[in-house]
Chains A and B, each alone.
Chain A
Amino acid sequence: MQLQRSYTLPNCTITLEGMSDPSAGPNLDASMTILAHAVCQFLGQDAPLSGGREFFTHLVTTVNAYAQEQLSGLRSRVSQTGLVRMKRLENGLHELAVYGAQEERSPRTEPTQVTQLSAVQLFDLVEAVDQFLADGTVLPDLQLPLLPLSKQDVPSQVPVAQRVAAPALGVAGVAIASAVLLGLPVPEINRPRDVAGLEASPPEDLAKPNSETNAEGDMPRADPLDAQPRITDADVLAEIQAEVERNLNDAWTESLGLDESLDYRVSVDQNGKIVGYEGLDERATDLANQTPLLDLLYLPPADVRLQNEPLAQFRVTFTPDDQLEVVPFTTADLGSNPSTPELGANGGDEQAPQTTPPQAAAVPTTLDPPASAPGLVKTQVIRDEAAIARLNETLYNRIDTAWQQTPSFEQPLEYRVQISDQGEVVGFEPLTPAARTYGSEIPLETLKQGAARPESVAEFKAVFQANGVLEVSPWDGF
């Protein structure tokens, strides 16, 4: 049976024409189950929106979704698709567009009807639809549950261009920065000069003075050694030398089994700690690790800069018969080392007068003859008692003859003296700080001059008393 239902609102009227279930028979209360025609008329508009079941279904769906959009502000896709589409215009009006059935398939088709609705008209439309949905007697199978928009269904409210702008800017920034940075030249590696001559693979980075990786025995400083202030005070130098000798002797516990001596240039700070050493020839460099120098190497903590600490330079020699010689470093020692030519060139003149103890007349500007430096020779020691006795007397006579100067010192000066088989003084070493200080008054240097390296030496202890008395006794005792 034919039925008609209307939902009338001030601005909008929806009229539905349809039929009830044919099998139900004539019944005034029958539900309209079949929709034949639907008309949506807005007040003040001539052409109503009309269509069949499909149109009406789309209309209801879209209006439903659109109303929720207006309440929450989140656009959904439903109102943008289908035969009936709605969207909000710039001026606050709502545009309702109806598309024909065939045109829905192809995009960018023109709608058959477009209407603009004010807020009140829209509300009346929504209300009409709600009244229809609430009406159980009309199209009961057309259910439209009210559901919130799920997260996935919310398309981004921000246009794509805006969203992409920020990451695009970031990527562009990274690209530009990397292009600029790649254009920078690779920094050159400047190998520090004082590293030359050390192990075959000098470490590349000596800029860190206290780097752990340099504990293998290389000079931990990148600066040339001349740049360090020198310790010039003779007393201090003497004390430092004694300290170094003590430490080295204590640390040197086992024989090195050397055929020839090993010479090192050792830098020592004012406390007597060895802060660096350098082999003066290749063999010395190779065998540096076997010497006690490595054990005594003192690496200051990372935050202590050795930049301006005064240092003293000594030449340390390990002889084949396991004797230790420590003498202040001079330029002559450098001369024998071909691998550090640059130090000899500019540092030599300043070095010698400062590092050698002022036994050579204490004139800082003159060069001292290197051969007069105190030092012991590492050769075999004569053990024959008769020879020792003979050489004892020879040494006594020699020194006594040479010692003419009236002593100005008050303490006795003690020396360890080496005398060759022929009676030549070949080496000596001050044993006390006073001995170092007043070494200039002792004729040992002049006696030693010109002595060749002997096969064997006898060692004696020579004591120069303040009252002018000389005592010479064998080093090992009677």
Chain B
Amino acid sequence: MSASVSVTPPNPASVELLPSVLKGLPDIEAAPEVCSRRARQQLDLILLAIEALDLGGSEAILIVARELELKSIIKNRVQLWRLRGSNPLRRNSQRRPLKTLEAKALIAIIGYIARRLTVVLRQLLLVHRQLTEKGQPLDSHFRLNDYLQRFRVHFRQRMNPRRAGVMAYDSDEKLNGLAISLLEQLLFCTGTAGEKRLWVSLFDGEV
């Protein structure tokens, strides 16, 4: 409990250029420059959940990127697509690494959007808890069913079915389970230290 996190800017020359939102995400000591496979996967899936929650989700991501002054990192739609394409489970996986700076930008966007969706997140998770306790099917609730269905469709559309990580989610129930767990993760991102928690958790087991 007495260890400390050293806050070192990624590059002394570009300290001024670091967007303010990212300052709350300190660089981890002894962490590699690029993100792990698990990290790339997780970030892309969380963004996928955001898109499934809200019809305007994809556009919202780009708009928020602009609002948070992250244009230097995420220039445009294509760049965002490339960043998300670093997820190894994708059909057109880009095989490019995801730099920690890019991951920070994505997390900042995720946190911002998650906070805007706080009410929805809490509501859906509550409904899910109630339905499972009573043993009722999940499609009873319109909004929840909508989310789950959209998530399943997007997942199957974009993920490479030959990957072992994708084959683990071969049924609707399993995909629903994944969708709910992503909702929980999004809920964590709405907290006071939400983005920081997500950022640090990316390096669990890596350092």
State whether the Cβ of B169 lies closer than 8 Å to any Cβ in chain A.
no
Task: Count contacts between A and B, CB distance < 8 Å.
Answer: 92
User: Is A120 within 8 A of B129, CB to CB?
Assistant: yes
> Chain A nearest CB: distance from B117 CB in Å?
13
Residue-by-residue, is A126-144 near B (CB-CB < 8 Å gives 1, otherwise 0)?
1100110110000000011
State whether the Cβ of A71 lies closer than 8 Å to any Cβ in chain B.
yes
Query: How far apart sit A10 and B126, CA to CA, in the bound complex (Å)?
Result: 12
Query: How far apart sit A147 and B198, CA to CA, in the bound complex (Å)?
Result: 11
The residues of B that contact A10 with a CB separation of less than 8 Å are 122
User: Is A148 within 8 A of B200, CB to CB?
Assistant: yes
User: Which residues between 15 and 55 of chain B lie within 8 Å of chain A, taking CB atoms?
Assistant: 28, 31, 38, 42
What residue in chain A is nearest B4 (Cβ atoms)? A145
Choose the segment among A149-157, A386-394, A428-436, A453-461 that binds chain B (4+ C-beta atoms closer than 8 Å).
Answer: A149-157
Partner of A120, one of B126, B132, B196, B200: B126
Task: Count how many chain B residues have C-beta atoms less than 8 Å from C-beta atoms of the other chain.
Answer: 35
State whether the Cβ of A408 lies closer than 8 Å to any Cβ in chain B.
no
Residue-by-residue, is A201-241 near B (CB-CB < 8 Å gives 1, otherwise 0)?
00000000000000000000000000000000000000000
User: Is B188 within 8 A of A74, CB to CB?
Assistant: no
Residue-by-residue, is B192-207 near A (CB-CB < 8 Å gives 1, otherwise 0)?
1100111011111111
User: Is A126 within 8 A of B188, CB to CB?
Assistant: yes
> Chain B nearest CB: distance from A57 CB in Å?
9
State whether the Cβ of A366 lies closer than 8 Å to any Cβ in chain B.
no
Partner of B200, one of A126, A147, A151: A147
State whether the Cβ of A118 lies closer than 8 Å to any Cβ in chain B.
yes
The residues of A that contact B9 with a CB separation of less than 8 Å are none
State whether the Cβ of A405 lies closer than 8 Å to any Cβ in chain B.
no
What residue in chain B is nearest A126 (Cβ atoms)? B191
> Chain A nearest CB: distance from B204 CB in Å?
4
> Chain B nearest CB: distance from A405 CB in Å?
93
State whether the Cβ of B5 lies closer than 8 Å to any Cβ in chain A.
yes
State whether the Cβ of B187 lies closer than 8 Å to any Cβ in chain A.
yes
The residues of A that contact B201 with a CB separation of less than 8 Å are 68, 71-72, 148
Query: How far apart sit A148 and B192, CA to CA, in the bound complex (Å)?
Result: 18
User: Which residues between 288 and 317 of chain A lie within 8 Å of chain B, taking CB atoms?
Assistant: none
The residues of A that contact B207 with a CB separation of less than 8 Å are 148, 150-151
Query: How far apart sit A43 and B115, CA to CA, in the bound complex (Å)?
Result: 23
Partner of A147, one of B5, B38, B193, B202: B5
What residue in chain A is nearest B122 (Cβ atoms)? A120
User: Given A131-B192, A148-B207 in contact, is the A118-B129 Cβ separation under 8 Å?
Assistant: yes
Partner of A145, one of B5, B190, B202: B5
State whether the Cβ of A92 lies closer than 8 Å to any Cβ in chain B.
yes
State whether the Cβ of B184 lies closer than 8 Å to any Cβ in chain A.
yes
User: Is B188 within 8 A of A123, CB to CB?
Assistant: yes
User: Is A68 within 8 A of B205, CB to CB?
Assistant: no
Q: Most chain-A CB neighbours within 10 Å: which of B1, B4, B180?
A: B1
State whether the Cβ of A171 lies closer than 8 Å to any Cβ in chain B.
no
The residues of A that contact B4 with a CB separation of less than 8 Å are 145
Partner of A91, one of B3, B132, B184, B200: B132
User: Which residues between 148 and 197 of chain A lie within 8 Å of chain B, taking CB atoms?
Assistant: 148-151, 154
The residues of A that contact B122 with a CB separation of less than 8 Å are 10, 120
User: Given A120-B126, A146-B196, A147-B3 in contact, is the A154-B205 Cβ separation under 8 Å?
Assistant: yes
The residues of A that contact B183 with a CB separation of less than 8 Å are 119
State whether the Cβ of A367 lies closer than 8 Å to any Cβ in chain B.
no
User: Is A70 within 8 A of B188, CB to CB?
Assistant: yes
> Chain A nearest CB: distance from B126 CB in Å?
6
State whether the Cβ of A470 lies closer than 8 Å to any Cβ in chain B.
no
> Chain A nearest CB: distance from B144 CB in Å?
13
User: Is A74 within 8 A of B197, CB to CB?
Assistant: no
State whether the Cβ of A67 lies closer than 8 Å to any Cβ in chain B.
yes
Q: Most chain-A CB neighbours within 10 Å: which of B42, B122, B196?
A: B122
What residue in chain B is nearest A153 (Cβ atoms)? B205
User: Is A130 within 8 A of B1, CB to CB?
Assistant: no
The residues of B that contact A70 with a CB separation of less than 8 Å are 184-185, 188
State whether the Cβ of B125 lies closer than 8 Å to any Cβ in chain A.
yes
User: Is A146 within 8 A of B125, CB to CB?
Assistant: no
User: Given A120-B125, A126-B188, A127-B192 in contact, is the A67-B204 Cβ separation under 8 Å?
Assistant: no
User: Is A127 within 8 A of B204, CB to CB?
Assistant: no
User: Which residues between 57 and 102 of chain A lie within 8 Å of chain B, taking CB atoms?
Assistant: 61, 67-68, 70-74, 91-92
> Chain A nearest CB: distance from B54 CB in Å?
19
User: Is A123 within 8 A of B196, CB to CB?
Assistant: no
Query: How far apart sit A423 and B183, CA to CA, in the bound complex (Å)?
Result: 124
| Residues of chain B whose beta carbon lies under 8 Å from any beta carbon of chain A | 1-5, 28, 31, 38, 42, 122, 125-126, 129, 132, 180, 183-185, 187-188, 190-193, 196-198, 200-207
27 of the cross-chain contacts (CB-CB < 8 Å) are A61-B1, A67-B188, A70-B185, A71-B185, A71-B201, A72-B38, A72-B202, A72-B205, A118-B129, A119-B125, A119-B183, A123-B188, A127-B191, A127-B192, A133-B193, A134-B192, A145-B3, A145-B4, A146-B196, A146-B200, A147-B3, A147-B5, A148-B31, A148-B206, A148-B207, A150-B207, A154-B204
Q: A118-B129, A127-B192, A143-B2 are in contact. List 12 more A-B contacts (CB 8 A).
A: A72-B202, A92-B180, A119-B129, A123-B190, A144-B1, A146-B200, A147-B200, A148-B28, A148-B205, A149-B204, A151-B206, A154-B205
